[in-house]
Amino acid sequence: MLTAIRRLLMVVVSAFILLPSSLPAQQKPQPFDLIRWNDGKFVYGVDYYPEAWDESMWEEDAAIMQAAGINFVRLAEFAWAKMEPAEGQFDFAWLDRALKVLNAHGVKAVLGTPTASPPAWLYAKYPDIAAMDENGVRYRYGSRRNYCLHSPNFLAATRRIVTAMAEHYKNHPGVLGWQIDNELGDPNCYDPACRAAFQNWCRTKYKSLGALNKAWGTIFWGHTYSTWAQIPLPWNTLFKTYNPSLALDYHRFHSDSTHDYLKLQVDMLRKISPHKAITHNEMGMFDNVDYSRLNTALDFVAWDNYPMFGNQNYSEYMGPGLAHDLMRGSKNNQNFMVMEEEGGLPGWSVFWGRQAAPELYRVWSYQAVAHGADGVCYFRWRTSRYGTEQYWQGVLDQDSYPNSRYKIVAQTGKELAQLTGLLHGSKVVSQAALLVSPDSRWAFHIQPTVEGFDYNHQLHLYYDAFRRAGVNVDVVFPQEDFSAYKILVAPTLFVVDKPLVEKLTNFVKNGGILILTFRSGVKDEHNVVTDQTLPGPLAELAGIAIHEFDPRTNQEQQVIIHDGTAIPARTWFDILGPTTARSLGTYAKGYYAGKAAITQNRFGNGVVYYVGTELAPEYYDVGIRQVVGRLGIESGPKLPDGVELATREKDGKKILFLLNYTDKAQTISLGQPYRNALTGESEPADVQISAFDAKVLVGAGF
């Protein structure tokens, strides 16, 4: 079967031969230099909570950290109650003492503004600061970040604590910068303050009710609004149905509100403490906010990486690679840091993650570095004795015994210090990009295509194929420039507007390769179905017309290629009618047997592919290798399952990261010998890598 697929793909990619091998360079702002910010050291640390431990332990903690190569901690993001024990009364003396101990051992800090966990006295005095759920019930005190972003009392309290912290630490030499809040993005709030704010947001965007009613199609069911105050929130309606246009704008409103709250704190910190950097700890594939817009206010991106916790939409072996690249891509692909790197078994009161081999904590740290991280900070230093996270292991457990995890962290710390000179100034360089559309993600949440459809899974189908081919991938967002790339994949581009269509058109005209997939071009920017033949405004670009489609049924479909081989297909079936495109594969079953499933269209100097269904995984692996080869993009060797090859570049020379996530030793044929940057020894062309191991390799010139 694979032989047949390869024959098909030789035909599929034949059009690439005449395509240009390079595209204009992308203009990007000067990136923030994390290593220079940390006095020339790789940012290597732990999340530390000195307030939860007897002060007599601090000196020993700092000494053990220093011995492990730790030079950085994040502090205080949950310490509001200790820093402001009563309204307007502040106590930073304990934190001053903790910083003094840490700084004496070469450990500097980022301070978290503590707004993620308001104190009990604040909720008691101002109960309206709590967010309201979609049933009209305010959340009770006892969790964290259960606040309303539009509560005047909460905003006033935020200004007070952030101002006090900034004034106190603005000139502290041991404080490198600030982390805003903690994992912003939820909950959605449905209280009167948020409803009024949403109505004002709509007024600002649409200017007139007539424009809003037209954009949202409120004539349906007679839901036309005659005053701004009539506009509801998408909450507890009968059957949980509401206008999808309203719902998409509410997602945007919530994302904008989150950005506004972050920027409120950023603006105060920049005014009072202008010389200290500002970041926020984000959540990878989390999609309740648009990170590409949230991060415009920050100096650098940081995020929280837990490969073994919950359903993270990660690949079985390569784990959070896409999340790393999405985080990097959310701020112009500049180098980032991991503010919370898994340091032990994840577990809350009611659910657990999976236990990992201790060596994997080192491999995951190197994976972060390979994807562009210049900083890794483990969560947490010591497992908590209290509260919801008693089962969430730290680097140390409650008894402070130097366990296997600590030894791995210490080993990695020494290695990264050794590699800092090599890594400093290097970055991820990619010629392939994956387009992530927050509007499409939200629209699929509002109206899922079919049961079980997952936008992130569609991203992974293509992303994982690139990674298995040893090809770096950038993540780009609709408002960005695509011209630096040779190939752009835009899976299930459900919601599109005119500016995005124009950018995609210019990208292809100028020689780019664009891959579109099923359910593309269906909705406009208001989440309204296009009145054009599908794929709507992308139809001319793709050279097809879609007059019929078939959602997934209990029986899987097949796509027949030209030699008669059948490739399994599933999820959704766009029935393609080529106009200027040519068919590369047809459906095998049903009333549309013989109709096109995959097409290729030459447009300008480029090519557009439309894949009308989800194919078996081997199609993506073989196809991506063929495509990148024809475009002159260097791919890596064939990799065993569970092994990743990623690269950074410095002065035009590559640094290779070979990562083995499996419990077996593996051999990879690299085609030439390399030098091991950690041992200084030469590695043969057929390099061997032990179970749960990472190697950093360089060629001549380093």
Choice among 77, 84, 282, 340 that is catalytic? 340
Q: How far is CA 113 from CA 158, 281, 294, in A?
A: 9, 12, 17
Instruction: Report the run of H or E that residue 602 belongs to, with start and end.
Output: strand 596-603
Choice among 183, 282, 480, 614 that is catalytic? 183
Q: Would you state the structure tokens that stand for residue 40, as one six-digit string?
A: 């020339």
The answer to whether residue 282 is catalytic is no
Q: How far apart are CA 300 and CA 321, in angstroms?
A: 19
For 356, phi then psi, to 5°, come to -115, 150
For 95, phi then psi, to 5°, come to -70, -35
My answer on whether omega of the bond before 537 falls inside 30° of 0, hence cis, is: no
Residue count (the chain): 702
Read off the DSSP letter of residue 403.
-
Q: How far apart are CA 620 and CA 633, in angstroms?
A: 16
Q: Scanning the structure block, which residue is given the tokens 């497992």?
A: 383
545: Cβ contacts below 8 Å, ≥ 6 apart = 533, 534, 539, 576, 577, 579
The distance in angstroms from the start CA to the end CA of the chain is 43
Report which residue type is found at 52.
A
DSSP conformation letters of 214-257: HHHTTTGGG---SSGGG---S-S-GGG---HHHHHHHHHHHHHH
Q: Which of 182, 191, 118 is nearest to 150 (CA)?
A: 191
Q: Which of 542, 494, 484 is nearest to 514 (CA)?
A: 542
Q: Would you state the structure tokens that stand for residue 342, as one six-digit string?
A: 């898994």
147: Cβ contacts below 8 Å, ≥ 6 apart = 115, 118, 129, 130, 131, 154
660: Cβ contacts below 8 Å, ≥ 6 apart = 363, 642, 643, 666, 689, 690, 691, 692, 693, 694
CA neighbours within 13 Å on the CB side: how many for 519? 24
The answer to whether residue 183 is catalytic is yes
Provide the sign of the torsion angle of the four alpha carbons 475, 478, 484, 488, taken in this order: positive
Question: Hey, which residues are catalytic here?
Answer: 183, 340
